[in-house]
């Protein structure tokens, strides 16, 4: 199959109506989309991504009124948060309505749903009469794509069309929150492109946290994820260097190059701006990987704001956790 790249929403719509898969741009990462009401299309997504069947898919819709059809009920504090942050890098996890197939949720009674904030994809969603399921458009376990080119490198010849909406603004997958029935409060399931501080400032209280690694409620929280082929080690670069004498080293710095000679050094943000770090992270991880070095050394960013999600993704990419 030949994979075309273009920005024609009508072509994307036609393929999706035929049950084919299309990669779609979002503000977080590119998605691999299929008709969420077509079980063959959903099955193709698992196949193309080589995704374990136990890992459920996020439903993408164009509006909150559409979203309502696919959940049993919307607790009003969650609705309040959704009104503020949707469309945007926020996914909600709630008990599903009968319209959502068990293949979408991998058998779970809850469904994850979001409204992506990208003009092309919103236009697409508002012109089709079904929701889309869309995991990140990468082969399972590899770094998520933040440009049409990244998608092409991984999925060339496996899908007919990539809707090119430019580089993803945010660059980290959406933040997932659900509803804790017992305490009747919102609960965090995955760190992501919307910082918890922003949600908490708006709520006026702390979010309950539910980030587990062994038996996660969101299987994408499994430790080994988003990995480069070149082993990546995290920590203080200068302290890590002696461990890799005579090795070809690539360094990913947050703000400044280190006084050391290595194959190449990257900088994620010269002004140490976390939005910029997030925006560049996956792209620079890929560029570092392409240099065929022996190791990639990378440092942590400050553990606050988007930094929590940035450090989370780096930890999952880390070699020693595999």
| Residue carrying structure tokens 């710095």 | 253
Q: Rule CB under 6 A: choose which of 174, 228, 265, 274 binds ligand TXA.
A: 174
Least separation in angstroms between residue 183's CB and Mg ion is 29
253 binds, among ligand TXA, Mg ion, none (CB under 5 to 8 A by kind): none
Residue number, 78 or 262, with CB nearest to ligand TXA: 78
Choosing from 22, 25, 26, 155, the residue that interacts with ligand TXA (CB under 6 A) is 26
Contact between residue 155 and residue 32 where contact means Cβ atoms under 8 Å apart: yes
Contact by Cβ (8 Å): 68, 114: no
Decide which of ligand TXA, Mg ion, none touches 147; Cβ closer than 5 to 8 Å per partner kind: none
The CA distance from 291 to 128, in Å, is: 42
25 binds ligand TXA (CB under 6 A): no
Q: Which DSSP helix (H) or strand (E) runs through 93?
A: strand 90-95
> Contacting ligand TXA (CB under 6 A), which of 23, 38, 117, 136?
136
Binding site partner of 175, from Mg ion, ligand TXA, none, Cβ cut-off 5-8 A by kind: none
Kindly tell me which of 186 and 220 has the beta carbon lying closer to ligand TXA.
Answer: 220
* Interacting partner of 93 out of ligand TXA, Mg ion, none (Cβ under 5 to 8 A depending on kind): ligand TXA
Could you give the 3-state DSSP secondary structure of residue 168?
coil
Q: Write the CB contacts of 59 (distance below 8 Å, at least 6 apart in sequence).
A: 36, 70, 100, 104, 111, 112, 113, 114, 131, 132, 133
User: Does residue 224 contact residue 280 with C-beta atoms inside 8 Å?
Assistant: no
By the rule CB under 6 A, 108 interacts with ligand TXA: yes
* Cβ neighbours around 322 below 10 Å, total: 11
How many residues touch ligand TXA under the rule CB under 6 A: the total is: 29
> CB under 8 Å to 151, separation ≥6 — which residues?
23, 30, 32, 137, 138, 145, 162
Q: Enumerate residues 6+ apart whose C-beta is below 8 A from 294.
A: 230, 231, 244, 247, 248, 249
For Cα atoms 180, 306, 56, give the angle at the middle one, nearest 5 degrees.
50
Under the criterion CB under 6 A, does residue 28 sit at the interface with ligand TXA? yes
Site string for ligand TXA, 212-251 (x = CB under 6 A): -----xxxxx------------------------------
Instruction: Choose the contact partner of 141 out of Mg ion, ligand TXA, none; CB within 5 to 8 A by kind.
Output: none
Both tokens assigned to 263: 């194959």
**Is 136 near Mg ion (CB under 5 A)?**
yes
- Which of ligand TXA, Mg ion, none does residue 110 bind to, with CB < 5 to 8 Å depending on kind? ligand TXA
Q: Which residues contact 157 (CB under 8 A, 6 or more apart)?
A: 1, 2, 3
Position 31 contacts ligand TXA (CB under 6 A): yes
Window 42-71: residues binding ligand TXA (CB under 6 A): 55-58
Which DSSP category does 232 fall into?
Answer: E
Which region among 10-18, 109-117, 150-158, 200-208 touches ligand TXA (by CB under 6 A)? 109-117
Stretch that binds ligand TXA, among 108-116, 154-162, 286-294, 302-310 (CB under 6 A): 108-116
Residues in the chain: 322
Site residues, ligand TXA (CB under 6 A): 26, 28-29, 31, 55-58, 91, 93, 105, 108, 110-112, 114, 116, 134-136, 173-174, 176, 190, 217-221
- Provide the binding-site residues for Mg ion, judged by CB under 5 A: 136
């Amino acid at each position: 199959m030949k994979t075309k790249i273009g920005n024609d929403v009508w072509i994307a719509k036609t393929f999706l109506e035929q049950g084919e898969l299309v990669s779609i741009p979002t503000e977080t990462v590119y998605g691999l989309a299929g008709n969420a009401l077509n079980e063959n299309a959903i099955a193709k997504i698992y196949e193309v991504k080589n995704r374990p069947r136990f890992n459920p898919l996020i439903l993408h819709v164009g509006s909150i009124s559409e979203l309502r059809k696919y959940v049993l009920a919307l607790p009003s504090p969650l609705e309040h948060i959704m009104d503020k942050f949707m469309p945007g890098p926020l996914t909600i996890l709630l008990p599903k309505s009968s319209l959502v197939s068990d293949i979408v949720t991998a058998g779970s009674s809850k469904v994850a749903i979001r409204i992506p904030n990208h003009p092309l994809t919103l236009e697409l969603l508002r012109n089709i009469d079904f929701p889309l399921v869309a995991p990140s458009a990468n082969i399972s376990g590899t770094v998520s794509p933040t440009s049409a080119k990244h998608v092409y490198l991984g999925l060339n010849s496996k899908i007919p069309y990539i809707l090119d909406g430019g580089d993803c603004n945010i660059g980290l997958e959406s933040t997932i929150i659900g509803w804790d029935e017992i305490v009747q409060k919102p609960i965090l399931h995955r760190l992501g492109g919307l910082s918890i501080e922003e949600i908490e400032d708006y709520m006026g209280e702390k979010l309950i946290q539910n980030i587990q690694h062994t038996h996660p409620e969101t299987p994408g929280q499994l430790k080994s994820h988003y990995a480069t082929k070149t082993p990546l080690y995290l920590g203080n670069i200068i302290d890590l260097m002696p461990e890799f004498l005579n090795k070809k080293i690539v360094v990913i710095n947050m703000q400044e190059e280190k006084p050391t000679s290595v194959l190449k050094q990257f900088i994620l943000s010269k002004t140490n701006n976390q939005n910029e770090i997030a925006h560049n992270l996956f792209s620079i991880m890929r560029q570092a990987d392409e240099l065929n070095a022996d190791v990639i050394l990378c440092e942590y960013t400050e553990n606050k704001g988007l930094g929590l999600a940035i450090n989370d993704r780096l930890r999952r990419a880390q070699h020693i956790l595999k």
